[in-house]
Every structure is written in structure tokens, then in C-alpha cells.
Structure 1
Amino acid sequence: MNNGQADYISVEIIDDLWVQDRIADLIPDHGKIMHMYIISDTYEQLAHIHPTRTDDRNVFKAKMPPFDNGTYHIYMDITHETGFSHTMTNTFTYNTENTIYDPTILIVERDPDDSWMLNTIEDRITWKGNRPPYNAGDDIALHFKVSNNGKPLVLEPYINMGGHAALLKKDRSVFVHLHPIGTISMASQEMFQENYTQGVLDREDICFFGFADDSTGNYFNSNTSPNGEVNFPAIKLGTPGNYAIWVQVKSAGEVITQKFDFEVIL
């Protein structure tokens, strides 16, 4: 869709139970009502964006990233008031010459935390101990270090976390949105951990980089990782195939995104 100034992506939840208000409404996770990953069919381009909910509670809109024409797969994470979170998926074809013109679309400002990767030349992130191929069922350690010309970069929170990662099997049968605390959404975690709801920490103060000594006390004085390291929980992948993982961190106000390809065998 295009309003004469920019291309927009619009998604609508059409599930019957949702439309009939028989499913609990949504709550923000990391301060966002929806986290959307857009991944090109070639796996070369990725965006992590945050659509805005419109007056129609079923519809969400966001400015399109500056992507090439092509086929894209979208993965949309939402969290309900019950704490239940899940991922919706879809596929679309993007062609800047064939977008639907709709002058009634209100201008939606891009979320300041939106980020994207247009190529695979980034090399500032190192996957420590990466030794593919992995056997199905192996514990795959996800330890990463970020540096520039051999010097560690100081990492700062990105959307209230030390890092984000998106893992996708190349046949698209597996998608996981990872944080250093795991796959659970922060909103869900807060609902089940009383220390986050009784004044120990405000939501804006939480930031984990995945270190063994991570605790609430670490984040009152410094929300950074000075050694450039961020860790995610080890994962087990039970089905063989080719996978990609995109790791996202933030340093000096810049979101750094890097893709790693690996294989899982029997």
C-alpha cells in the first residue's frame, strides 16, 4: 500500500475467535504491541519492525523497509492479556511498481527501534565456538562477541534486552525469536515473576545479556555489556536441514544485524 509518500505493510487478524472478541486482547511486549520479522525468500534481507495498531483493532500498519522487490515471509509475535504469546506467519510479494495507492492512509511514523539488514556483508559479530554441522539434538551454544577492528564494542540495550535473534529453518518449518532470557516474551515473564511486578524493577529497567551472574541487581547502575558479549540459551534442533540465525545487538546507538548459516545433520 502507498499513500503517495511511502509504502506501507498492512496486516489484519481474521481469526474467527479473535474477530468475535472471544480471545483476550493484546498487551505490549518490550513496549511493542507487535514484533514483526520480514525475511526475504533469498534469506539475504531481514527487517525487525514494530507495526502500529490502527483504530480497527484487527489491523496493524508499518512503513516498509527499503527492500528490493521480491517474495518475503513475515513472522509476527504477539502477546495476549493472559500471558499467552504466539507467532503468526504469512508470505507476500513486494513490487514497488504495483503497490495499492490509498491516499486515506494516515502517515505512520517509523518506530525508532525498527531495524533491517539489506545485505550480508556485516562481520562485526563473531559466533564463539561455532562448529557446524551439528547433530540433531545437540546443544547448540549461542555465545556471541561484537568487536570492531579487534576491539570489543560496548553493547547497550536494544528494545530492553541485551540482544535479539531470529532463527529460521530454510524450509520455513521452524522459526524462533530468541532473547538472552530465552523464547518467552518479556510481558509473559513479568506476569509470572512477582519480582517484576512488585517494584523490584520497572519494565524499562530490565536488560539481560545472558551472563551467568545476570540478576536484577546488575541493572541499576549499568545497562551495558562492556566486553561486547551477549549470550542466548543453548538450543536443540531435532530436525536436520539448513538453518540461518540473525543476531541483533546495539552499540553507540547503532543496531548491528548479522546472519549466520549452519547445518543440522542426523
Structure 2
Amino acid sequence: MEHHSNHDGHDDSRNSTRGMDAVGHAVPAGLSLAANGLRLVPSETRFDPGERTNWSFRIVEDGSVVTDFETAHGQRAHLIVVRRDLTRFQHRHPELDSDGTWRLERLAFPDPGVYRAFVDVVVDGRATTLGYDLFASGVDDVEPRPGSSRRGAADGYEVELLADGVEAGENTELAFEVLTEDGAVARLDRYLGALGHLVALREGDLAYLHVHPEETAAESGRAAFRVRFPTPGRYRLFLQTKPAGTLITTRFDVRVEA
């Protein structure tokens, strides 16, 4: 099977959104290690917490290792790692070898527990998210989580989620406003070709929604997303923005009604 790849480092929205509708992954993703004929094969699944490890994985189709991937949001692969209690988050971009091996240096799991690794790729114009559980040995301490939270803070910035009630199955705009410590609106720089990056995970099975914002002005301090939550329930949102050149990650909790 011939695979086509865009290696120029630019985001080609025509290629990166095939298989998705206008609001991102309409169908929950990341629930399986195999989807769309692709299968995720990691080199290791067990780790010592706190130790940095060089990790690798491959993506296989019909018994053969896939070597060609298309660019989506400025990268040929996005790796999201989240502890299953939704309290730890990292977003990395592994490097691809010519033999189809994806390599990531210094991957670390800060605490014991079960982590879910999500791998976002585009092959033959189809966006696919594959998921795999990774284990950091030891006794984990599950942290409490609020039912709903609309404010977050990181590195001297405060971020507020501006949204009314959220209903399942409806296209909903989620706008986030980034402010400095003195309450001034922050200017947002682009990150991965946009003014923000949002990951939403459904509590219970960690169904994965991965969307990017609508176009907003950098001076507004706002990143707006249009997303459709597939079912009622609680979701945790991880927002990445880049005010004044500083990449920050904030988290929010929303309850989606029927």
C-alpha cells in the first residue's frame, strides 16, 4: 500500500482533517491500540517512576511497519500521555526513523500509576488516534478532582473558561481567556500553528477528543474551540497556550449534560 507524506513542516489542513468533521474527532478516539487498519506496537510498557527513559514504538498495517506519515498541526505525530486519574499530562513529539521507528528521548513518569498514551497520526489522509496503557511501578495516590472548574493558573498567568451550559451532541464553543497576574489581557503566540491546543478526555474510559481553535486575534488573549462532546458525563480539558512566548498548560473540568 502506498503512503503519502508531507515533510515540509507546514500544516496542510486539507490533509490533516480528512476522516474528521469540522469540529475535530467527532467519534471518541484512543480507546484501542488498533484502529483504521493501524496498530500501535510499543517497545516498553513498564517503567520506573521518576526515571527518564528513551522510548520507542512502531505503527503496523497488515503486518508491515508504516514509514510514511502526513503532517498534522506542524508535526507527523503527537504523543499525549495522561495518568488515568487525569492528574498528569504531557504532550511530546517523537522523531521518526527511516525504518518506521518512532523515538522519544527522556520520557518520564513522575509518579507511580497507570498512564494512557495516545498517538495521533495521519496515514493516507486519514487521522487516527491509537491508545495504549503504560505502567509506572509502585503504589499510586489517586487525587481528588472537582466536578467542575472554570479557572486555571500557570507560570504567572490565569486562564478562565468562558462557556455556558454544555450539552452532549451539540456543537459548543469553548473560549479561554488568558490574563497576566495584574489582570491585563495576554498576547498569545502561536503553538503548533494555532493560538491554542486542547485535549478533552472523558472520565471513565478516557475517550479522547483532540481539537484546535477557531481563528482569533492574538491581542484578544482568547483561544476559542468548537467541539462536540459525544455523551453526557464529566470531562477533563487540558489547554496549552503560549502567552508572550511561554508555553503553559492549564486544566479544567466540565460536566456535560444530556
- Using the size of structure 1 for normalisation, the TM-score is 0.65
Question: For residues 138 and 75 of structure 1, what CA distance do their matches in structure 2 show?
Answer: 25
Question: Corresponding residue for 1:140?
Answer: 172
Pair 125,65 (structure 1): closer, same or farther in 2 beyond 3 Å: farther
Question: For residues 169 and 212 of structure 2, what CA distance do their matches in structure 1 show?
Answer: 20
Question: Would you say 1:49 and 2:92 are equivalent positions?
Answer: yes
Amino acid at match of 1:139: N
Question: For residues 105 and 205 of structure 2, what CA distance do their matches in structure 1 show?
Answer: 23
Higher-Rg member (1/2): 1
Amino acid at match of 1:137: G
Identity across matched positions, percent: 23
Cα deviation 1:100-124 (Å, max 9, x = unaligned): xxxxxxxxxxxxxxxxxxxx75461
Question: Corresponding residue for 2:161?
Answer: 127
Question: Corresponding residue for 1:79?
Answer: 122
Question: Corresponding residue for 1:90?
Answer: 132
Question: For residues 170 and 69 of structure 2, what CA distance do their matches in structure 1 show?
Answer: 35
Question: Corresponding residue for 2:246?
Answer: 254
Higher strand fraction (1 or 2): 2
Q: Which runs of 4+ in 1 moved over 4 A?
A: none
Question: Would you say 1:10 and 2:43 are equivalent positions?
Answer: no
Question: Corresponding residue for 1:186?
Answer: none
Question: For residues 249 and 16 of structure 1, what CA distance do their matches in structure 2 show?
Answer: 34
Structure 1 residues 158-237: aligned runs within 5 Å = 158-172=191-205, 174-181=207-214, 210-211=215-216, 225-233=218-226, 235-237=227-229
Question: Corresponding residue for 2:235?
Answer: 243
Contact 1:54/1:61 (<8 A) preserved: no
Secondary structure at 1:226's aligned position in 2?
helix
Cα deviation 1:152-183 (Å, max 9, x = unaligned): 111001122111000110123521111115xx
Pair 142,179 (structure 1): closer, same or farther in 2 beyond 3 Å: same
Gaps of 5+ in 2: 1-43, 139-151
Contact 2:238/2:252 (<8 A) preserved: yes
Pair 255,228 (structure 1): closer, same or farther in 2 beyond 3 Å: same
Pair 93,121 (structure 1): closer, same or farther in 2 beyond 3 Å: farther
Higher helix fraction (1 or 2): 1
Question: Would you say 1:265 and 2:257 are equivalent positions?
Answer: yes
Contact 1:136/1:238 (<8 A) preserved: yes
Larger deviation: 86-95 or 58-67? 58-67
Contact 1:135/1:264 (<8 A) preserved: yes
From 31, 38, 50, the counterpart of 2:81:
38
- Using the size of structure 2 for normalisation, the TM-score is 0.66
Gaps of 5+ in 1: 97-119, 182-209, 212-223
Amino acid at match of 2:99: D
Amino acid at match of 2:128: H
Contact 1:53/1:61 (<8 A) preserved: no
Task: Quote the RMSD (CA, aligned, Å).
Answer: 2.8
Question: Corresponding residue for 1:20?
Answer: 64
Structure 1 residues 63-78: aligned runs within 5 Å = 63-65=106-108, 67-78=110-121
Pair 40,245 (structure 1): closer, same or farther in 2 beyond 3 Å: same
Question: For residues 233 and 221 of structure 2, what CA distance do their matches in structure 1 show?
Answer: 30
Question: For residues 231 and 65 of structure 1, what CA distance do their matches in structure 2 show?
Answer: 31
